[in-house]
Each structure stands twice: as structure tokens, then as C-alpha cells.
A and B are shown apart, each in its own frame.
Chain A
Amino acid sequence: MRVESHPVLGKLEEAPMVTITVDGKELKARKGEMILAALLANGIIVNRYTRKRHEPRGLFCGIGQCTDCMMTVNGIPNVRTCITPVEDGMKIEVQDGLGVWRDEN
């Protein structure tokens, strides 16, 4: 959910939107926002499952330190989504374990 209005910060300014896909599903994201923020705005909170126990992981530090929010982006695994901005057409996948490197091109 987005914080559309705020008593201190005011109204959320309009921004151009881009399209990303998450596990094949198309989503709209604000241009330049972090992948994680776009996902949270769309109610997605699981970013990956751990390798051994397949436990879900999501946002923990939000500033690129903890690596809990890593996902596979454009075929590249272990991308910290809280500090990686969206780009139009980005393919994002919930990551299983350590992920697999794939050449998308």
C-alpha cells in the first residue's frame, strides 16, 4: 500500500509509471522506485525462500545491508531489491535458495 497522503510530507507526487513482471504477473511501478517498494505497494512481501528449510524471507533492513530481500532480476540471482531501482520491462522472480544464473539475452 502506498502512503498517498501524509500530514508532514504532503500528497504523494504523481510519477511516470513503468511495467515490471513478478513471477510472470504484470505490475505497475513508479519510475525509479526500488523494486522492493514497488512490490510492497502491490502487497507482495515474500522476496525469496531459503535454501535448506525453504522459509520465506522479506524486507528486514531496507538499506542494502542484510540481503533478506534478494530476488532474481532479469535472470540474475541475489539482487538486493531494496536498493535496486525498477526499470521498464524488468523480469523479477521470487528466488528459491541461492538462485540460478540465466542469460536472458
Chain B
Amino acid sequence: MFAKVKCFGLSGIDGFKVMVETDVRSGLPGTELVGLPDTSIKEAKERVRSAIKNSGFSYASQHVTVNLAPADTKKEGSLFDLAIALAILCATEQIPLIPASDGTVFIGELSLDGYLRPVRGILPLLISAAAKGFKRFVIPSQNAAEAAFIRGADVFALDSLSEVISFLSAPQGYTPVPPREFSAAQQGRRFKEDFMYIKGQSFARRAMEIAAAGGHNILLIGPPGSGKTMLAKCLPSILPDMTAEEAMETTKIHSVAGLLPAGEGIVTTRPFRAPHHTASQISITGGGAKATPGEISLAHNGVLFLDELPEYTRQVLEVLRQPLENKSILISRASRAVHYPADFMLVSGMNPCPCGFQGSSVKQCGCTPAQINKYTAKLSGPLLDRIDMHIEAENVSYDDIKGAQSEGSDVIRARVNAARQLQSVRYAHTGITNNAGLDSELMEKHCALDEKSEMLIRKAFDKLGLSVRAYTRVLKVARTIADLAASESIQFAHVSEALSYRCLDRR
């Protein structure tokens, strides 16, 4: 006998429909799984067999063929288990056939005792399926929190194979997962790392505020102990609240990577990813056998923090260039190409020289000019081109530590949020969300300078030795400073402040 059950497979962060077809015929007992399954699907045979047996049914002592259609697309993951089990039970006439008109999609991994285990990527799967017109889903109950953010669909979160079977016979006894509304969890949240605990460093604090408000990439340069890492770690506490769309996008990626915090269901705070400098190229960009998302995609709508920037391998640094420009990455492999968004803010730290003490008042630097050149040459021009702000973090003195209480992150975040609000209104329908994303056309429109400011920039280029590429960077940062001051146009003071965040250009 023949039966089919609907399921969905995952490719990148997009789902595609998979029809699980099963045919049971007389012959040598055995199960065959076709349709380009990967190893985890091939092993489904054994899980399904035990799950069926332990749910009180019998496994066919006939020849079973399971086909995952379309047969020419590679499939991976354990999420087909439930659909395969149901298809086999239907085909062996142990449960009634699911009619072809029934649009229910079944997703879930089975444990040997018949319970449903959570799977990765539920949110992107359901979003794709809903977009293709599917309105009814059966998923593992542990994925319920994540699925609650789907609108316009009935999602049933069930515990076991036998529960699914009783649901099929009497669906009226079950209620779908109640939908939840997204709310930015940032409000009132306490952060372990808060700007309140950073003493002194007024320059760097202000720079971090601007970077957060405009989404600018920033490079912190300073001797060891100057608090570069601490500053970066405090950054999440002042990042603007996520919008619902941003949260969805980020959750999709984290869901695919299996990184969603248990019970939360959705990413509510901007991600902060800090891979160590031994990270491989693939781990940064994404890829591998399963084309999983890399650090740059996991940091989507959040921060990618690279401490000790010149210590990363040259390849790793260079692969960042294109995603920084395109805000997404296409991972192309022989069998397929997967597209992941990668709109992140790059925050990085480095020492001024290999020993770290150049220009320090604490310790003499013993590096030769050649060593310093070699060290800084690791950061190629094109990469530095994409970093809007570079600042020096200074050593903090004892007096600073004992000084008055610093401004807390809550206060700063309120200002950042206000500035972002202005930007999102201004850039509605332009495809960008913040000042860092400004292109030359939009810049002409929104970053006009008065004569006095234009003059200042001109003089600064001569006097401070700023490079030409610094020009657009300075304008973007000036725009953010103006936004923080709630000013419609860019004023003289905004430009002159923006000019102070280009310390690498001065060398």
C-alpha cells in the first residue's frame, strides 16, 4: 500500500517542501530510504522502527520503500523522522490514511521510545511553509516557544508519536500554540557588563556611543590593560533595541545553527559574537558539509567582536571585506549555494605594536619600526576602508578608578535608541537602517555640509594628514553625531568631533 505525508526540509534559512512517500510491498523484509538523504536521515530507519514498536504498533515485516521527494535535492537533519513514521503506519494500514487534501505539515525527530525531540530551524521552516500557503503544523512540544511567533497558522506542539496519532483521529481535543507578540527584552534588563563600571575613558565611551547609535564599525587601539575588551563587552548594553523584523531574521539564523536559548524561542537581544583569533575562515564565513552559518551571520543585526585583530590570519580578515560591503554572504558549494544575511557591526581591538607599549607612559616600547610595520600591515587598506572609526584607548590612572560614578548604560541606551529612531524614520523605504549603511547617493541628500564645516574638513585633510577615503567615513560619523544631538542638519561642531575618530589616518 502507498501513503504520503508532508514535511519541510531546510536549505540555509529557507525551507522547501518535502513529500515523504512510502510504499509497502511483499518481498524480503527491509527498509529502503531514497531521495538523497544524508547520514542522519539514513539512520532515521532505526529510530523510526524502535519508535513505532515502543508506541504500541508493529513495524512492517514486508519490504518498505521511503522516498523523500523531490528526489534530486539533498536533504539533511533529523526533522523527517515523524513524517516517515506516520507514512509507514499509514502504508501498513495501522492508522487511517491522511487525505492528500489535508495540508498539515509534520516535523519532528523521534527518540527510540516514541517521544518527539526538538529540531533545529523550526522558525525558518514554518515561515517558509506559511509563505507557501501551509497553515497547519505539527511540531515537537519543545519547539513551541519558537513557533509561537508565527502568525496566521495553527501550530500544534505535541509530545510523542502516539499523541500525534490520537491528534490525527480527534484533532478537536487539541488547541494550537497561543501566538506571542515580540517585545524587545532590552528594557529594564540588567547587563553584567555595564558602562557604569568603566571609569575614566570619556573619549572611548563617547566613541562607543556613536558607534552603537550609527552602527559604525570601530577599531580600538591601545596598550594592554587599557580596557579595549572591557569597552567592547559593554557594547551590547547600549545597543539599540531590536525591531520585530530584526529579531525574526536573527532568530532564523540562530535557529538553523541550533543556538536558540532554551525556552526563549526568539532572539530578543542583539547577538554579540567574539570568536577567538584562531578561528578558521569557514567558521567565520559559514560553510562546511552542511553549509552552516558562520560567525558573521550569527552576528547578524548584532556585533562581531574581533579582539587582537592583527593576530587573525590574513585570509580570515580578507574574507570579511565582501560581507561588510554586501551585508550578506553567498556560500557556494558544489552541491548547492546557500544565502545567509550578515549585517553586523564590526568591533575590533588591537595593540599599537607587537609588544603593545608604543606611546605608553607606563612602559618603554622595544619594537623596531620594521616589526611595527609588519604588524600593522596585516590590516589591508581595503579592510581599514570599511572601518568608520578608529580610536585610541588610554591607560586608566588610579585617580580615574577612584573617581565619581560613571554614567550607566541605561542612560546611554536611551540616547542611542532615540538616534536610531530618527534614522529609521529618515531611511524608511531606502533599504538601509542606519547611518553606517549610507551610500553616496543618500549621503548627498542627508549629509550636506555648510560652508564653514566644508572648510574645516578641507583644512583638516591638510593639517592632520587625513586620507581621501576618510572623507565619507567622517561624514557618516558626523551624521550620527548630529542624530544624537537631534539635529536636522550636520553642524560645524558635529564635523569637528567626527574628525577626532580617525587616529590611524594621522600616522
Whether A associates with B in a native complex is no
